[in-house]
Amino acid sequence: MSDITLDLARMMVVRRARWTPLEIAFWLAAAAGYFLFPAKLVLLTQMLIGGLFAMSLDLLLGYGGIPSFGHAAFFGLGAYAAGLLAVHGWGEPLSGVLFGGLAAGGLGLAFSSVIAKVRGAAVLMVTLCIGLLLFEAASRMPWLTGGDTGLQGIDMWPLLGQFEFDLYGRTAFWYAYVVAFLLYLASRRYIHSPEGLALKGMRENHDRIPMLGVSTARRKMIAFTISATIAGMAGALLAQTTQIVALETLSFERSVAALIMLIVGGIGTLIGGFIGAAAFIWARDVLSALNPVYWMFWLGLILIALVLTARGGLVGALAVVADHLARRGPPR
């Protein structure tokens, strides 16, 4: 590669690393939500956790072009790991989140070499099987996981020894907000590093990357493990803030929901996962209050419409609007 191309590449890295107005707006709006909707804190916390989970999938799918059809396996494993830790006498929240991430990351690492080896539909099938396997395992071990009734008796200690988890979810909200934000920063860092660039390169042209002397298998293994770890931490947050782990955290439907959130928000943007999760969880809250069957019907229709029409999701749509406004310029 010539020097000029390298310089160009470096400039692009710097350019991409700059914060977009949308990212800033999202994190400000999320914080403002605390003050604007004090009665909806539980829902807002779920949006942040859902967003974190969707973002973990985005690292894999949006940047590596690796689809996962069973990502709930990592989310649910993290939830159960953190939940079990607390049930068995260690209710310290931060180490619990790390433990959940570690457990899920370990599973991700174990399967990452298989994922790195296969492509296309086979990836979907392998991840699907991992998800089904964990769901079955959790439902068949009620002595450990509580089976269908879920894991109960999660007793959290005060955060940093100071802040009790209260009934209104105030501590839970800020806790989820800070953890999600820190992991967002870390993910940004990762995708703008050479490691992340190689991942994007693979998505664009899988056959050419090995010719540059980059091992695609290694890059995919790293990405898969990181993604699984973050998904596990999101699951751990859910377990700690709701103080229950339902079997549903491992379900196929939850994996599909994460994919939908990502498509709604915009794949390959990181913030899209959060925006999609907020839209999805809000819509589910409103529609399922009407009737759960109708919710499924609308969910299906929305999904079909999205695949057929929307390219770029909400982030794409918002960018078009922002672009339009910018071009018109400010009024004099």
The contact mask relative to another protein for 179-218 (x = CB under 8 A, - = no) is ----------------------------------------
- Which span sits near another protein by CB under 8 A: 86-94, 160-168, 270-278, 304-312? 304-312
Q: Please, which residues have CB within 8 angstroms of residue 278's CB and are 6 or more apart in sequence?
A: 47, 50, 51
Nearest residue (CB) to another protein, 55 versus 85: 55
> Residue 125 interacts with another protein (CB under 8 A)?
yes
Query: 180 or 314, CB closer to another protein?
Result: 314
Is 244 an interacting residue with respect to another protein (CB under 8 A)?
no
Compute the distance between CA of residue 5 and CA of residue 90 in angstroms, rounded to an integer: 53
**Does position 69 bind another protein by CB under 8 A?**
yes
Distance of CA 38 to the CA centre of its chain: 24
Q: Mention every residue, 6+ apart, whose C-beta is less than 8 A from residue 50.
A: 234, 257, 258, 261, 277, 278, 280, 281
Site string for another protein, 129-168 (x = CB under 8 A): xx-xx--xx-xx----------------------------
Among 65, 30, 82, CA closest to 231 = 82
Q: How far is the CB of 111 from another protein (least distance, A)?
A: 8
**Residue 188 to residue 332: CA distance in whole angstroms:** 37
The residue (of 133 and 326) whose beta carbon lies closer to another protein is 133
State the DSSP code for 157.
P
Cα(95)–Cα(79) distance, integer angstroms: 13
The structure tokens 């943007």 sit at: 269
Which residues contact another protein (rule: CB under 8 A)? 61, 67, 69, 114, 117-118, 120-122, 124-126, 128-130, 132-133, 136-137, 139-140, 252-253, 256, 259-260, 263, 293-294, 296-297, 299-304, 306-308
